[in-house]
Amino acid sequence: MQPGDARSTIITALVMLLSLSISDLLWAATPAAGSQKSAVVAPARTEDLVDPIVVKYHRECSGKAAKESNCDRLRDNFVAILKEDLLTLGATAKRQYIPDIVRMFRRRPEVELRIAAADAIGMIGPQDQDASILIPLTNDPVPDVRHAVSSMLYHGKGNAISLLKQRAVTMHAGRTPQTPPDVAKFSMPVAPDSLYLFGSSDASVGRLSYVIKGKSDPASFFKAKAKKGPFKLEEFQEKYRFQIQDEREAHDQAQQAAGKEIENTKPPDPRDVQAYTEFMQKIQSMGAQQGTRMYLDSYEPKLFSSSTVYVLEERQIGQRSYPTRYVVLYQELAFKRPGYRLAWTTVPDDALKAAQVASLQEQREEEAQQAVARKEEEAAKKREAELEALTKKKDAAEKKQFKKGQEDLEKALGF
């Protein structure tokens, strides 16, 4: 379809994709004002205005299994036609199409069409006034769709779109839909009215993110379950600085050990596609985990405000007490909603104890340096106080001597 065919494109892509019945398509076939008369005399059939393959798929296969009858082949043709129509709409760069394309995105199950819809919106160029309807698109359960939405936002303009672009980061890839994990397995509570964020969560590193979709207060919910807190994020990070360092070191050591194991493992024969693919995915996931953990432990003030921490569980491991489960609450500035991130320790206790060896020595050295610094500071303050006292005493003596000399002079002069 050529760019000039935008009218029939609207009929095919924007209406059929909304899963409406054929009779509901008539609104899109309404002719321009100048041709109202001819439309009344000889109205065109809707079926003549919509691609026959789209009509056939909609009538015979909508809601049916792909393998049923000839629906598998029809589906491929249906998707190809509508992808082309969507990209044609995008090529018009007309902003009035964005709301309809967004509605299509949110209603279609086909991954390819949601990606094409994101591409089309990117071609048009989203602006700040579109941000509120684009926010839900960033949380698609399919990673590749989220990547397409992120790419779409890079073609937009405005402060709100820029903020959303920075927030809409996904660390995964693929076309398999993700599902929220069962948090009960990790003994973590979830606040009422919570919506799981696929792109900001990874149970393998002990981080799951949510936004509040209703009016409930997550702070009240977690305060009732907390052992300690609330702490400001910076206060929490300073208070548990060595514990956080130990966990990071334990993760690094585990990753290095896994890397050495991979190095000593003979790769599968590339002709065994499944085994070779799984082997390569394992290598990629090892490198991605470290980046994911760092990303999910960063709370940039331009994206997250009022970050507060409640400690849900604290355990003594070796010579330190660790916040093994906690939650970080914040205001999502891009999503304009309260949000929170559940965090828990994913490394074994023995790994933390091993990491303590170096950090305890570092802590003792730091404390010794701080003790020396305190003594030097106290000595300096003492010297300063003694000097100040001596100066005051000298000034008093000089004033007394001056006064006595003045009195002697007055006596000599007969005053």
Torsion angle, CA of 353/359/360/364, rounded to 10 degrees? 180
Tens of pLDDT, residue by residue over 71-105, are 777 788 888 888 888 999 999 999 999 999 999 89
3-state class of 199 per DSSP?
helix
Same domain? 155 vs 220: no
Q: Is residue 362 part of a domain?
A: no
354 assigned to some structural domain: no
173 part of a folded domain: no
Could you tell me the pTM of the whole model? 0.76
Q: From residue 294, how far is each of 173, 248, 286, 287, 328 by CA, in Å?
A: 18, 9, 13, 12, 15
| Same domain as 150, residue 24 | yes
Tokens matching residue 185: 């397995």
Same domain, 22 and 159: yes
Examine the pLDDT at 22 and tell me if it is beyond 60: no
303 and 193 together in one domain: yes
Please tell me whether residues 373 and 246 are part of one structural domain: no
Kindly list the distances between the CA atom of residue 252 and the CA atoms of 19, 242, 247, in Å, as whole numbers in the listed order.
50, 15, 9
CA nearest to 212, candidates 232, 193, 233: 193
The DSSP-derived string for 281-334 is HHHHHHHHHHHHHHHHT---TTTEEEEEEEEEEEEEETTEEEEEEEEEEEEETT
Q: Is residue 282 part of a domain?
A: yes
pLDDT value at residue 398: 80
Q: How confident is the model at residue 173 (pLDDT cuts 50, 70, 90)?
A: confident
Q: Is residue 259 scored above 90 in pLDDT? A: no
Q: Do 120 and 192 lie in a common domain? A: no
Determine the pLDDT at residue 154: 95
Structural domains counted in the chain: 3
Confidence at residue 217, expressed as pLDDT on a 0 to 100 scale: 94
pLDDT of residue 370: 83
Tell me which of 132, 167, 202 is where a domain ends. Answer: 167
Amino acid 187: pLDDT: 94
Highest mean pLDDT among 19-33, 334-348, 358-372, 400-414: 334-348
Q: Is 232 helix (H, G, I), strand (E, B) or coil?
A: strand
In a domain, 135, yes or no: yes
Q: What average pLDDT score do residues 323-330 get? A: 98
What span, in angstroms and rounded, lies between the C-alpha atoms of 268 and 285? 17
| Residue whose pair of structure tokens reads 């090892």 in the numeric block | 286
CB-based contact 136:106 (threshold 8 Å): yes
Helix (H, G, I), strand (E, B) or coil at 338: strand
Of all residues in the chain, the percent with pLDDT exceeding 70 is 83
Give the pLDDT band (50/70/90) at residue 200.
very high
Residue 231 has pLDDT above 80, yes or no: yes
What's the CA gap between 375 and 371, in Å, rounded? 6
Q: Which residues of 228-243 are buried (b: 16+ CB within 10 A; e: fewer)?
A: ebbbebeebeeebebb
What is the mean pLDDT of the segment spanning 27-35? 34
The rounded mean pLDDT for the chain is: 83
397 and 304 together in one domain: no
Whether 262 and 380 map to the same domain: the answer is no
Domain that holds residue 336: 184-347
**88 and 207 co-located in one domain:** no
Same domain flag for 70 and 212: no
pLDDT score recorded for residue 79? 85
98, 124 Cβ separation under 8 angstroms = yes
pLDDT band (50, 70, 90) for residue 263: confident
Shared-domain flag, residues 259 and 300 = yes
For residues 263 and 333, state if they share a domain. Answer: yes
Q: Is residue 209 part of a domain?
A: yes
377 lies in some domain: yes
List, for residues 118-144, the tens digit of each pLDDT value.
Answer: 999 999 999 999 999 999 999 999 999
Please report the DSSP string for 107-146 in residue order.
H---HHHHHHHHHHHHHH---GGGHHHHGGGGG-SSHHHH
Element (H, E) at 94: none
